[in-house]
Structure 1
């Protein structure tokens, strides 16, 4: 049963990641990898919320949403690849990479903390 929950959540999460990446690239351009930043921060918020809610949720929700959906939505490998790719850009590549890493870490940790706080408050 857990495998099916992970598969179902992963299918939705991966689809969302693809759609968010396409939408943000069209609207904000490709100066920075906005899609990956967006899904990683959103996933951090959701995981923080799940952690804050803790045992108030049935275990299958963590498997479906935490492992399946957030596991497929967020992407550390793409974050790493895009950081390295940014450093190779001629005009301000290293600065963009530093900005991208800083924004991802600060926003991701902030979103996780906010999610946890919301979960504790509910």
Structure 2
């Protein structure tokens, strides 16, 4: 039961963080491109890489820290569904270059940020 509560708490905090950052960036830069979602997913990947480097994968993904931070917080913070819907919206509205740019930027930036986070953790294994 405690595992569910840790994931729920982390997910609630992560979802609120995503909402705040995505809205802040949409107000600042407009909604012509999903900057908020890209920023959230990239920063979440950075944090996930760092946590992987400092904590490693738990044996059964049930450590309290992993549950609240990765499964809960980062699971609620990052978003594949918003990325998918925003990319589809760009494509359907005739902005295919923006849609493709979003796909490439999200994938490459996410992988790079996870790697940078892992490097920042000092882990070399």
TM over 0.5: yes
Give the equivalent residue in structure 2 for 1:22: 23
The equivalent of 1:76 in structure 2 is: 80
TM superposition shift of 1:84: 0.8
Aligned equivalent of 1:109: 111
Structure with more of its chain in helix, by fraction: 1
Does 1:96 find its partner at 2:98?
A: yes
Secondary structure in 2 aligned to 1:120?
A: coil
Q: CA deviation at 1:114?
A: 0.4
Task: Give the root-mean-square deviation of aligned CA atoms.
Answer: 2.0
Aligned to 1:37: 38
State the partner residue of 1:66: 70
Residues 46-57 of structure 1: pairs in structure 2 closer than 5 A: 46-55=47-56
Greater than 4 Å deviation, 4+ residue runs: none
Gaps of 5+ in 2: none
